[in-house]
């Protein structure tokens, strides 16, 4: 167990929260079978998974176990490993807001004050770049190029991607920085002059839009897909390591194509 935790922490470089989730799943299973995990059977794994009603939860637990056993097998701690497949789950389309909805709700913000201008610029920034909340928290003025591109660094700091900032968002950000009373290289500051936290950004977006900041990330991707952007381009802009993660948006693309046919093709109008 200790070797596995060191492997996913140091070699794989997983985030602390992910490491904690793996550890919790493995210790939960160990408590359930009341013996060494390496002595467990496929039947015991199935019995453990049966404790959970949601397929997504079962899949997460099984994924942790499969990753652990795969590590043990490759490290020659065991000679065979359990072979259990993930359960099929319904793929829900991500919730998103349309451009008109977002701009309408932003009208309620008082931009004559620094905090209001910050909130307005922040929401446009999230919608314009599709960045994660953690990435917005760490964004600095020095991350923005002269021609309006944002450098976004991943958690490990060894990779970065460039995302163009839409002119409307650039203008709002410039106005906010001009109004700001405190100096800092960080883009988004609290009234105390400290970088905004993830919780603070969540509360700001929730206050004006009624959704989480992650919905703005989905809205960014959805707008691009429905506008005809290539899936690989969207993958690059979102910073997805695998195209599989981005492919959920193809369902939106198909629905848009279906709607276009139903609206414009003569045979779709039911005339025979």
Nearest CA to 171 out of 117, 108, 101 is that of 117
* 156 catalytic residue (yes or no): yes
- Residue 96 buriedness (CB in 10 A; 0-12 / 13-18 / 19+): buried
Which of 156, 264, 265, 269 is the catalytic position?
Answer: 156
Which of 140, 180, 240, 251 is the catalytic position?
Answer: 240
Which of 61, 111, 217, 218 is the catalytic position?
Answer: 217
Which of 61, 132, 176, 208 is the catalytic position?
Answer: 132
Residues 128, 129, 130, 133: is their CA dihedral positive or negative?
A: negative
* 240 catalytic residue (yes or no): yes
Residue with tokens 């936290």: 197
CA pair distance 111, 120, nearest whole angstrom: 7
- Residue 84 buriedness (CB in 10 A; 0-12 / 13-18 / 19+): middle
Asked if 160 and 96 count as a contact pair (C-beta separation under 8 A), the reply is no
Q: The tokens of 263 are what? A: 């609206």
Which of 60, 140, 214, 251 is the catalytic position?
Answer: 214
Q: The tokens of 120 are what? A: 């307005």
* 249 catalytic residue (yes or no): yes
Asked if 151 and 227 count as a contact pair (C-beta separation under 8 A), the reply is no
Q: How many CB atoms sit inside 10 A of residue 212's CB?
A: 15
**Largest alpha-carbon pair distance within the chain?**
70
* 132 catalytic residue (yes or no): yes
Nearest CA to 72 out of 5, 15, 144, 125 is that of 5
Q: Where do runs of H (alpha helix) occur along 87-209? A: 99-106, 114-129, 133-137, 167-179, 198-209
- Catalytic site positions: 132, 156, 214, 217, 240, 249
């Amino acid at each position: 167990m200790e070797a596995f935790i060191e492997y996913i922490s140091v070699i794989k470089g997983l985030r602390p929260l992910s490491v904690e989730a793996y550890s919790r799943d493995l210790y939960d299973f160990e408590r359930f079978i009341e013996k060494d995990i390496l002595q467990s059977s496929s039947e015991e794994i199935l019995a453990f998974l049966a404790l959970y009603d949601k397929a997504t939860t079962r899949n997460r637990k099984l994924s942790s176990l499969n990753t652990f056993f795969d590590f043990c097998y490759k490290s020659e701690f065991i000679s065979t490993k359990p072979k259990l497949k993930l359960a099929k789950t319904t793929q829900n389309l991500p919730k998103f807001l349309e451009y008109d909805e977002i701009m309408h709700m932003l009208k309620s913000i008082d931009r004559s004050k620094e905090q209001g201008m910050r909130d307005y610029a922040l929401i446009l920034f999230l919608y314009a770049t599709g960045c994660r909340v953690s990435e917005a928290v760490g964004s600095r003025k020095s991350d923005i190029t002269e021609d309006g591109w944002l450098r976004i660094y991943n958690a490990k700091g060894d990779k970065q991607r460039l995302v163009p900032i839409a002119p409307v968002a650039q203008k709002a950000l410039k106005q906010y920085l001009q109004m700001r009373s405190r100096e800092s290289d960080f883009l988004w500051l609290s009234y105390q002059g400290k970088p905004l936290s993830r919780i603070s950004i969540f509360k700001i977006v929730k206050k004006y839009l009624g959704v989480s900041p992650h919905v703005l990330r989905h809205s960014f991707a959805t707008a691009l897909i429905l506008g005809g952007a290539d899936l690989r381009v969207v993958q690059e802009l979102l910073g997805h390591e695998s195209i599989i993660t981005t492919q959920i948006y193809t369902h939106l693309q198909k629905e848009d194509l279906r709607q276009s046919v139903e609206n414009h093709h003569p045979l779709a109008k039911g005339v025979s």
